[in-house]
Copies of this chain bind each other. A is one copy, B any other.
Amino acid sequence: LGPPPFTSDKIYASATPPGVVMGLAWTAMGGSTLYIEAAAVERGEGKGSLRTTGQLGDVMKESAAIAHTYARRVLQARGDAAFFEQSALHVHVPAGATPKDGPSAGCAIATALLSLALARPVRPDLAMTGEVTLTGKVLPIGGVKEKTLAAKRSGVRHILFPEGNRRDWEELAEDVRAGLEVHFVEEYQQVFDLALPEEGSA
Using a CB–CB cutoff of 8 Å, the interface residues on chain A facing chain B are 1-6, 8, 11-12, 17, 19-20, 25-27, 35, 37-39, 41-42, 48, 51, 53-55, 58-60, 62-63, 65-66, 69-70, 72-73, 84-85, 90-92, 94-97, 100-106, 131, 133-135, 137, 139-143, 164
Copies in the complex: 3
Beta-carbon contact of A12 and B143 below 8 Å = no
Report B-chain residues with C-beta under 8 Å of the C-beta of A11. Answer: 133, 137, 139
Beta-carbon contact of B92 and A96 below 8 Å = no
Bound-state Cα–Cα, A11 to B55, Å = 30
Report B-chain residues with C-beta under 8 Å of the C-beta of A59. Answer: 55, 96-97
Beta-carbon contact of A39 and B73 below 8 Å = yes
Please provide the 3 A-B residue pairs with the shortest distance between their CB atoms, ordered closest to farther. A96-B103, A1-B102, A92-B134
Beta-carbon contact of B39 and A131 below 8 Å = no
Report B-chain residues with C-beta under 8 Å of the C-beta of A142. Answer: 2-5
Report B-chain residues with C-beta under 8 Å of the C-beta of A69. Answer: 39, 41, 90, 92
Beta-carbon contact of B39 and A48 below 8 Å = no
Report B-chain residues with C-beta under 8 Å of the C-beta of A95. Answer: 103, 131, 139
Contact of A134 among B1, B39, B58 (CB under 8 A): B39
Beta-carbon contact of A58 and B58 below 8 Å = no
Chain B residue at minimum C-beta to C-beta distance from A10: B164
Chain B residue at minimum C-beta to C-beta distance from A100: B1
Report B-chain residues with C-beta under 8 Å of the C-beta of A37. Answer: 133-135
Chain B residue at minimum C-beta to C-beta distance from A18: B135
Bound-state Cα–Cα, A49 to B100, Å = 26
